[in-house]
Chains A and B, each alone.
Chain A
Amino acid sequence: MTSLSRDDVANLARLARIEMSDEELVNLSKEFTVILDAVARVQEVAGADVQPTSHPLPLRNVFRPDVVVASLTPEEALSGAPAQEESRFRVPQILGEE
């Protein structure tokens, strides 16, 4: 049986950029023991000779002509922005982090 500790879940939450309360972390770690047990069944059948399928269609490199078509105006593109400044998205500080 695979299980995930509270700290394992905390690490995954950090990777997924989701802040989580201690209660949430503990609950999820309990649920994951059950869920992982159920999904681990995939390991029972798939032998080394089976090719993986990532997509139902056998498509490769779909191209279109490189032609300029109508697109969003800056106003439209910014219409849902939480904050904007000088026709640009205003975002919190990115530089200066570790």
Chain B
Amino acid sequence: MIRNSAAEMAAKLNAGDITSVELTQLHLDRIASVDTDVHAFLYVNNEGALAQAAEVDAKRAAGEKLSPLAGVPLALKDVMTQKGVPTTCGSKILEGWRPPYDSTVVTNLKKNGIVILGKTNMDEFAMGSSTENSAYGPTHNPWDLSRIPGGSGGGSSAALAAFEAPLAIGTDTGGSIRQPAAVTGTVGVKPTYGGVSRFGLVAFSSSLDQAGPCARTVLDAALLHEAIAGHDPKDSTSINAPVPQVVAAAKSGDVKGMKIGVVKELNGEGYQSGVRSRFEESLELLAAAGAEIVEVSAPNFEYALAAYYLIAPSECSSNLARFDAMRYGLRVGDVDGASAESVMNLTREVGFGREVKRRIILGTYALSSGYYDAYYGSAQKVRTLITQDFNNAFEKCDVMVSPTCPTTAFKIGEKSNDPIAMYLNDIATIPVNMAGIGGMSLPAGLAPEDGLPVGFQIMAPAMQDDRMYLVGAALEAALLSKWGAPLLSKIPALAGA
């Protein structure tokens, strides 16, 4: 049962084959059994989840009309507030904090009867590509426990791959939904910026952050996408327009006549051979399904990484100023006669981890007078050039594609002392955030040399998110008929407790 897709679980709930309480308990049991090894969860809300499930069961028994995913469990990234439930963002500075309000994503999940199992591990304040920057220890990739599950949303992706939840919420600032999906053989979607409300998403880089759905199938991601998306007056950057028809697109999967643009600059040197061969194979399958493959060029993408590592730290240095030890969270050094400033300094020393401090200092530097134009100002101009590259390319194609990441999952500890090597993971995912458009990663198979999952990335113009689901569904169907079973059926069994 726990290996079913969310859509299959929903059908069984509808048919009365199982109750939401039973389905939720199966997942809580699975978490209790395997999460000691995987460490996908920072907090498991047993009572809260079962209470929510019982409520959905009661409504179903009373004959109320329910949402498509009502009663299906989900794992929530710990960067989203849920009223009364601990929210740490993977940081010591928020240890023990229970937010007094729900994020809009959580409000929407509850409205749809989606059962929230608990909070998933992440790189501290979503800064990282491996979940090794969590103050609560790393998450392990269920494909190989010695490897990283991606980041920052490694807890959410690992929970999906370990069958601890069929659905999860992630957030994507530079690839934190798509890269974890790629390295765990799952599906992750970063919607168009403004497509899903950021209210209650603890901000890292406000002009880049975007929440989105994580799942094991394209259709499940689409169902979750529709459940959480839409205009929210509480987020002034949320788009006031109808949500793209992503579920219809995922059910159709018709790519006949679609033009798929392969980004010349995101392929080739620096990409692992197995990543390239799986990517080429996917292109052939899409061509066989009736799409036209064309090559497009985005010459400024090579500067995206550099611009990102100025823009994101700059915004983070400002956003994380709110952790000042005054109103919530950790407070250190509050002895008689201590000044507010010394309490702030000591609290932030103890409360923030190494990568967060590194980025706050870098952002403080990039924004300081005398350096502003050379660093932050130039990075903003690169952002314009990247958006222009996308606009030019989308004149020649309907979607753009690339491998999601240059390599498969690396070993835990392999890159933790080399920030630049770690940042290179995000080279193919960052341009999407810079332009505010949509991006999806779905499994393209295993790299022959190491047997680990490879991700295929689809990028679509702003508010055309349905196109990613069309192409994603077409590729998923073609790969499924080639393999005979979903990729995750090949994952090694976890020992369990």
Contacts and interface: CB of A to CB of B under 8 A. Distances in A.
A1 interface: no
Interface string B432-455: 001111000000000000000000
Contacts of B98: 79-80
B378 A43 contact: yes
A73 to B, nearest CB: 9
A72 B381 contact: no
B236 A59 contact: yes
Contact of A54 (B207, B233, B328, B462): B207
Interface in B190-243: 193-194, 207, 233, 236-237, 239
Contacts of A80: 97-100, 327-329
Nearest to A79: B100
A16 interface: yes
B429 interface: no
Interface in B291-339: 300, 303, 305-307, 309-310, 317, 321, 324-331, 334, 337-339
A44 B378 CA distance: 9
Interface stretch (B48-56, B359-367, B475-483): B359-367
A13 to B, nearest CB: 6
Given A18-B352, A56-B436, A57-B193, A93 B340 contact: yes
A58 to B, nearest CB: 10
A38 B387 CA distance: 21
A97 interface: yes
Given A13-B361, A35-B419, A41-B306, A64 B340 contact: no
Tell me what chain B mostly uses at the interface: helix, strand, loop, or mixed: helix
A87 B383 CA distance: 46
Contacts of B380: 52-54
A56 B435 contact: yes
Nearest to B417: A31
B383 A53 contact: yes
Interface in A9-39: 9, 12-13, 15-20, 24, 28, 31-32, 34-35, 38-39
Given A15-B364, A56-B436, A89-B326, A45 B300 contact: yes
Contacts of A53: 380-381, 383-384, 387
Given A59-B236, A76-B100, A93 B337 contact: yes
B345 interface: yes
Contacts, number: 171
Contact of B331 (A32, A35, A54, A83): A83
A17 B348 CA distance: 7
Given A35-B419, A82-B329, A82-B334, A17 B324 contact: yes
Interface in B93-110: 97-101
A56 B381 CA distance: 12
Given A12-B361, A43-B378, A92 B334 contact: yes
B368 interface: yes
Nearest to A77: B100
Contact of B236 (A31, A50, A62): A62
A68 interface: no
Interface string B394-425: 00000000000000000000000001100100
Q: Kindly state the interface size class of chain A when it binds its partner.
A: 35 or more
A64 B236 CA distance: 9
B189 interface: no
Given A9-B361, A16-B361, A39-B375, A82 B307 contact: no
Given A18-B352, A42-B378, A53-B380, A64 B194 contact: no
B338 A92 contact: yes
B331 to A, nearest CB: 4
Interface string B230-266: 0001001101000000000000000000000000000
Contacts of A24: 357
A97 B344 CA distance: 14
B385 A12 contact: no
Contacts of B420: 34-35, 38
B358 interface: yes
Contact of B207 (A34, A56, A93, A97): A56
Interface string B12-32: 000000000000000000000
Contacts of B100: 72, 76-77, 79-80
Contacts of A42: 303, 306-307, 310, 375, 378-379, 381-382
Shortest 5 CB-CB distances between A and B: which pairs?
A56-B436, A80-B328, A46-B381, A52-B380, A82-B331
Given A12-B361, A91-B340, 16 more contacts: A17-B344, A18-B345, A18-B352, A19-B348, A38-B305, A39-B310, A42-B310, A42-B379, A46-B381, A50-B384, A72-B101, A80-B328, A80-B329, A92-B340, A93-B339, A97-B340
Interface of B: 97-101, 193-194, 207, 233, 236-237, 239, 300, 303, 305-307, 309-310, 317, 321, 324-331, 334, 337-346, 348-349, 352, 357-358, 360-362, 364-365, 368, 374-375, 377-385, 387, 419-420, 423, 434-437, 462
